[in-house]
Amino acid sequence: MRLRAILLVLIAALIAVVGALYWANRETDVTAKLAERTNTVGETVTPEQSDEPADPCFDAKGTVKDVLDGCAAFIASGTTDKKKLVTAHSIRAMAFSATGNLDAALVEMNAAVEINPERANSYFMRAAGYDAKKDYDKALADLDTAIGMNDKDGDYYLLRGEVYSHKGDFDKALADLNEKVKLDPEATSGYSHRGQIYRQRNEYDLAIADYTEVIKLDSRDVKGHVDRGWIYVLKDDLDNAAIDFDNALKLQENNASALVGRGVVKSRKGQPTDGASDLALAKRLEPGIFDEIKKLGVK
């Protein structure tokens, strides 16, 4: 089983336990990329292939506590295998984030960087932790280091673009997201996040173009339909907004944002009763959804 498999289990735990945390509930591909990047060995490790017995740190079995304990035991074993040590610390970082302990996660990533300061992915992962703690300058410093080591990895630019956007520097955010799209033109994440920046800059046509590309690449991307629908609302193009929200709800019938969008469209088109029904359901599903929609600039 590949080492990344254990991280996929941990990500599921992240979503279930602390969905509000950065590494568990970002509307990006960063979480999945973090999981992939902990596989520093880069090959399948099974009991038949390894000289060591199966260990919860690497075999994707057991609870988050089992993983933490297994990785701690491996780290304390005295091994000199630096690649697997970095992997163990990286997995512990993800596991600690699943328990809500970002400080402990950062300690693990500090250890990973110390063991191998030439590994760009460790800086990338640590930057995600710093960003989650809103320590943006440290996040940017780590991402600058990672990009200095490998300027062909689009995900480094994606995360740095996010950090810049969190700091309100949309020009630098756009520059990084442009680079992400250039390096990974078949990935939806670059277009999606660039569309968000365009929305914040009130450049709605450019935002629509990016969300259209998301949908072109993945027609079942619910968020792509919802995001474009809200841009159409901001442009007062209610007919196209209705199409996007309806398509989103066909894919995910209880999507609260799409329900609010459909409710808003119905109300503005003179169907207040039908609109109120959608809005009420959305509020039951996600009580804070109206505040989230207001953040989009919708009045």
Per-residue pLDDT of 208-254, as tens digits, reads 999 999 999 999 999 999 999 999 999 999 999 999 999 999 999 99
> Domain span at residue 91?
1-116
Q: Tally the domains of the chain.
A: 1
What pLDDT, on a 0 to 100 scale, did the predictor assign at position 51?
54
Q: Is 145 contained in some domain?
A: no
Q: Is 83 contained in some domain?
A: yes
Q: Is 74 contained in some domain?
A: yes
Bigger pLDDT: 192 vs 5: 192
Per-residue pLDDT of 18-73, as tens digits, reads 333 333 333 334 444 444 445 433 333 333 444 555 678 887 677 888 889 999 99
Q: Is 21 contained in some domain?
A: yes
Q: Is 39 contained in some domain?
A: yes
Q: Is 42 contained in some domain?
A: yes
* Integer Cα distance of 278 and 245 in angstroms: 11
Q: Is 186 contained in some domain?
A: no
Q: Is 227 contained in some domain?
A: no
Closest to 266 measured CA to CA, from 252, 295, 246, 296: 246
